[in-house]
Structure 1
Amino acid sequence: MGKWQKSTAFGVMCGALVFVSACSSSDSGSKDGQNTSPSSSPSAAPSGSAKVVELTTVRSNPSDIKWDPGESMDKNAVYDAYEKDLGIRIKNVWVADSKQFTQKLNMMIASNDIPDFFTVSDQMQLQQLIDSDMIMDISALFDKYATPETKAWFTKDGGNQMKSAKSGGKLMAIPMADSPYNSSHYLWVRKDWLQKLNLPEPKTMQDVLKIAEEFTKQNPGGGTGKSYGMTLNKDLYGTYGLTGFFNGYHAYPQTWQKGDDGKLVYGSVQPQMKTALKQLQDMYKAGQIDPEFGTKDVDKENELVVGNQIGIAYGEFWLSAWPLEKAAIKDGKLVQDWEVYGLPSIDATPARAQVGLGLNGYVVISKNCKNPEAVIQILNQWVKINSNGVTDERKLYMNGKELEDKGKLYYKVNPIRLNSQDGNVQAGAVLPKAIEAKDPSAFKDNADWTNRYETSLRYLNGDMSGWLNWMIAKPGGSFSIMNQYLQEKRYMADEFFGAPTVTMQDKKSILDAKEKETFTKIIMGQVSIDEFDKFVADWKSLGGEKITQEVNDWFAKQK
């Protein structure tokens, strides 16, 4: 995902999907290829033996890795470390660029010629492999070989990520964990414009609407181009989208929520959506939304932000890293002073930020894998190096043989990568206090927090390159608000985290396209707001009603 790739160099890490296969023994291996006996510690590296388990893999080759001389995805310091520390040799069957990778992997799956283990991108691919009886049940394997630290890694979200990897009560994959809280949205506003126009900081949705109106009328950017109140892109949701705006109206698009009767309902067809869409239609009519948003992606919409034509944006915690940094910092100077706020509400009930499952895919193991415990050993190693502070071992796995972080992105070489389920939300309770006190001792072993702390202090000392992390880590920054959401129970989790239902697989893309088309037309005033009611009826008749039944059948089995 481009937004993550652009922010990783600044410590905003997320797991890009990495595809790995494993488990054929080398000729020098023991009878079953193992060098860790069943009674051994599951994370212990082999000792006193030259036997090596060979793990084959298929890899997507990230274009942004900067390889050291003589290294590549086939031969590199990270692969060497796994062989040295675990006795596991990783061998690539093939390496493809990102555009070709998915096609090649799909061909392997279709021909039942899959690697020993690899990562699938979503639950639909996972279910396909389960239905085809191509992957193994890893319940006993995980229970036996995963370290306590590894098992604990998957518990911070209440267990939903692990549940999503199960079928018939059997664990069929390792979830590529990430934080569900990272998808929550925030309100970002030009604070310098608020001060220039003597406007109060936004505490309610009514404040937001007034600010959008004044930003449009008074053109505080001072440029020759017309000003608009709020960003919006053609996809409607996500960065520079409407997710946070809708949440302010207690509407939760494209998620499943509990209705008054306890059954799940689809957020995009609820009455609150109509109320919010009517307000957006009024804003568009008043010139507060870019009239060409329907043809613009985030980068294109950001041109207006860079050009001092927009002063309100909804987006994730890392908006300061991308795309706002391009607008805020110029020639080493802060030229746009943005502030981040929690989501305001339209009424007395606090707005809740919707969040998803927070996964980057699933690691699956072929039924033909001879040494599946080696997969768990690699998983354990990733957890170990990310749990024991800033050690030389961690530096090697994350940065390559030079050890220092020079923006080479060597961490992407690791075949299995997880992110903390709650690391950032916990950072919101620690980092702001550390920055205020100028004392990082509370997290001296946490590399990511240390990086954000140090770059924030550099910003305070005049280095504008630290601004993006300052906005995230400072008192009142997006991490602080993320933690506040949790303390105040202001997250709205998607209640459906199962594999796509039968009707979803057949109809969801059609229904999603109709939703986007209808909502766009309503906002632009091409159709009446009452078109929403027709959309709801059509959604139900075209498969939504059947999907709702299937989702609730699944939900009943989770209780």
Structure 2
Amino acid sequence: MKANAKKWAVAALPLCLAAIAALSGCSKDSGQESAAGASANGDKFDKLPKEVSISMFDRGQVSSDEGTYEENRWVKWIREQSGINLKVVPVPRNQAQDKLNVLIASNQAPDLIWEYDRNYIGNLVTQGVIQPIDEYIEKYSTSYKKYLQENPELKPYLTFDGKMYAVTTKRAVSAVANHGMWIRQDWLDKLNLKMPTTIDELIAVAQAFKDRDPDGNNKADTVPIIGYTTGDVYNAMHGVTWVDWYLENDKMKYGPTMDRYGDSLATEKKIYELGLADKEYFTDKDNSRAKQLWTTGKAGICLCQWGGNTSTMVKDLLLNDPSAKAVPLEPVSTKYGKYGLYQETPANIYVTFNKNMKNPKAAVAYLDWLVDKGWFALSNGQEGVHYKLVSGIPQKTDADKFKKEVAYAAEYAVLKPLVEKPEDLPIKAAQDALSQQIVKLEVESLKTALKNKFRRDIPYQPNIIEINELKASFQKTIDEIRAKTVTQSNYPAEKALDDIRKEWKRLGGDNAEKLAQEWYEKNKAGFK
């Protein structure tokens, strides 16, 4: 899951949205009339302004002198180059779905609504918020239609109830990998410790980091384990997540009700009670404390991402202490075997069409432009200013300039047919010594992150309203029980798992499992 917001988190449209959607009905003058319904005098959409609005994740990356997410050099460039008058509707990344739900309920949602989370898209389908787009793509698209023909494996991810409700492009290899673990190799060397390969060895190393003064300041002030994906990492190493369904003897079981989840809680609880994890990580919502501990050299193991924000943290650590040696740590085995940390599905961003969209033809034209050429500049900047081509690969010429003027622009490239290899990363990065040092660590981390397969028994999750609503209401229960068992000594993980199962059953879990099983039997022939 993406840092600061778990990409497979359960979508949670407010229940009132269903009533609002039902009352509002289908707008007769909206774009969801058949694309085949053009008048004899030409396509009805040709008479409409070429205007499209789109949601955007606000990650706080636009500096004040660049403008805002709504208005900046790149939004202006998009309008000029695409011929589409684009309006951007930012939503805070960490509250994206909540904000989108409010916009939808108040009939203020943009034409194009997108998310990484297929479950959320499924909720929008169920609620009648978005519309099928098969006819629009068939009639109006050239570039994206060709792309989908060349990548047919994406079609099942875009299809709900036999109709296509979204467009997407394949994730690049650097976007398939997500979570990653890092460890201070220099601390291991100083304490004469081996790289841990099992969960027990990981705990033993963390204990040594706590007790044996690895930073050499004669103070008991080190924090062995920090990270903003802590619970997810423990879960993944036990072959389970708190949002997904799994197959046990060909029967669908919800992750948090499985023995594996209870054992993951027990592991997290043990590490916490031994004082090996930062005591404040449950309340460190913006990860500021984790970053502070890592970059100031007070932490030894980071449960984070393979790159991204973690690369910035490693860079800041090296700026503070050039002798530090942070290296990728491969996931360790548990009694269930060895699994990779969270990895994404092939489908990247899901871009959908609001049912009240005025001009779907303009929306398709915009998406075609992105796939054809727009994505490249939005991802890399301006040739000769932000990059130069080396063996056909864009190489950053100034890391700081790129970070300020281009990094945020990638947010607009919601369709990006990028094909890359790990070895491309050093060519793409800035060539100064520090940037190259960081990117070489990134390549190693990427390979480490992809070395072990993340457990995903089915390619995507059931889109059934009863299940979606149950999972949404159940999420708070899971969060509360997890925090309680980890932080309270008198609440063992065995009791926590028992309470999770009882609450699941009370809320209708038996029926959810029945529906999930029926869905699986109906769809499994199409799973690869």
In structure 2, do the counterparts of structure 1 residues 212 and 401 end up closer, same or farther at CA, with 3 Å as the change threshold?
A: closer
Give the aligned partner of residue 43 of structure 2: 32
Residue 528 in structure 1 maps to residue 498 in structure 2: no
Q: Alignment partner for residue 167 of structure 2, among 170, 174, 184? A: 174
Distance 1:226 1:318 in 2: 27
Which residue is 1:409 aligned to? 406
CA distance in 2, matches of 1:291, 1:410: 33
Tell me the residue number matched to 2:291. Answer: 302
Equivalent-residue separation in structure 2 for 1:341 and 1:104 (angstroms): 36
Matched AA of 2:182: W
Match of 2:445 in 1: 478
| Conservation of the 8 A alpha-carbon contact between 2:45 and 2:359 | yes
Count of aligned pairs:
470
Unmatched runs of 5 consecutive residues or more in structure 2: 6-29, 33-40, 388-400
Q: 2:412, 2:194 → 1: CA distance?
A: 49
Whole-Å separation in 1 of the counterparts to 2:67 and 2:280: 48
Match status 1:283 vs 2:271: yes
* Structure 1 residue 199: Cα displacement: 0.8
1:218-237 to 2 correspondences below 5 Å: 218-223=212-217, 224-231=219-226
Query: Structure 2: which amino acid aligns with 1:533?
Result: D
State whether residues 114 and 366 of structure 1, in contact with CA within 8 Å, keep that contact through their aligned partners in structure 2: yes
Change (3 A) 1:270 1:380: same
Distance, in Å, in 1 between the alignment partners of 2:328 and 2:214 is 19
| Deviation sequence 1:363-403 (CA, Å, 0-9, x none) | 3335565653432332232223378xxxxxx4478536985
Deviation string, structure 1 residues 203-252 (Cα, Å, up to 9, x no partner): 333332221121122121224243333225xxxxxx34132333333344
Asked if structure 1 preserves the Cα contact closer than 8 Å seen for 2:379 and 2:406, the reply is no
Structure 1: any 5+ residue segments left out of the alignment? 6-21, 25-29, 36-50, 233-238, 388-393, 432-442
**Contact 1:395 1:404 (8 Å CA) reproduced:** no
CA RMSD of aligned residues (A): 4.3
Deviation of 1:139 after TM superposition, in Å, equals 1.2
Return closer, same or farther for 1:115/1:296 CA change in 2, 3 Å cut-off: closer
Q: 1:399 maps to what in 2? A: 381
Determine the structure 1 residue equivalent to 2:104.
109
Residues 121-140 of structure 1 mapped to structure 2, 5 A cutoff: 126-127=121-122, 130-131=125-126, 133=128, 135-140=130-135
- Aligned AA (1:32): D
Cα pair 2:225 2:299 within 8 Å, conserved? yes
2:197 to 178, 196, 203: 203
Q: How does 1:26-425 map to 2 (within 5 A)?
A: 31-32=42-43, 54-57=50-53, 62=58, 63-66=60-63, 73=70, 76=73, 79-80=76-77, 83-84=80-81, 88-92=83-87, 98=92, 106=101, 109-110=104-105, 112=107, 116-119=111-114, 126-127=121-122, 130-131=125-126, 133=128, 135-147=130-142, 151-152=146-147, 158-159=153-154, 162-175=155-168, 178=171, 182=176, 184-223=178-217, 224-231=219-226, 239-260=228-249, 262-297=250-285, 298-318=287-307, 321-322=310-311, 324-325=313-314, 328-331=317-320, 334-346=322-334, 349-357=337-345, 362-366=350-354, 371-385=359-373, 394-395=376-377, 398-399=380-381, 403-404=385-386, 406=401, 407-409=404-406, 412=409, 417-419=414-416, 423=419
Amino acid at match of 1:324: M
Relative to structure 1, the CA distance from residue 61 to residue 318 in structure 2 (aligned partners, 3 Å threshold; closer, same or farther) is closer
- Confirm or deny: 8 A CA contact 1:23 1:372 kept in the other structure: yes
Provide TM-score, normalisation by structure 2.
Answer: 0.73
1:125 Cα shift?
Answer: 6.0
Measured after TM superposition, the shift of residue 130 of structure 1 is 3.9
| Gap change, CA 1:96 and 1:316, over 3 Å in 2 | closer
Distance, in Å, in 2 between the alignment partners of 1:52 and 1:288 is: 61
Change in Cα spacing, 1:451 to 1:249, as seen in structure 2 (3 Å) is: same
The residue that corresponds to 2:14 in the other structure is none
AA at the equivalent of 1:549 = K
In the alignment, the residues of structure 2 paired with residue 494 and residue 124 of structure 1 have an alpha-carbon distance, to the nearest angstrom, of: 16
How far the C-alpha of 1:191 sits from its partner, in A, is: 0.1
Displacement, 1:154? 8.8
SS at match of 2:53: strand
Q: Which moved more, 1:506-515 or 1:116-125?
A: 116-125
> Could you tell me how far apart the structure 2 residues matched to 1:365 and 1:294 are?
37
Q: Is the 8 A contact 1:183 1:358 kept in 2?
A: no
Matched residues in 2 for 1:71 and 1:511: separation?
37
**Aligned-partner residue type, residue 315 of structure 1:** C
Q: Partner letter of residue 428 of structure 2?
A: N
**Post-superposition shift, 1:137?**
2.2
The 3-state SS of whatever aligns with 1:553 is helix
Structure-to-structure mapping, 1:417-436, within 5 angstroms: 417-419=414-416, 423=419, 427-428=421-422, 431=423
Distance 1:244 1:229 in 2: 15
Measure the CA separation in 2 of the matches of 1:386 and 1:518. 46
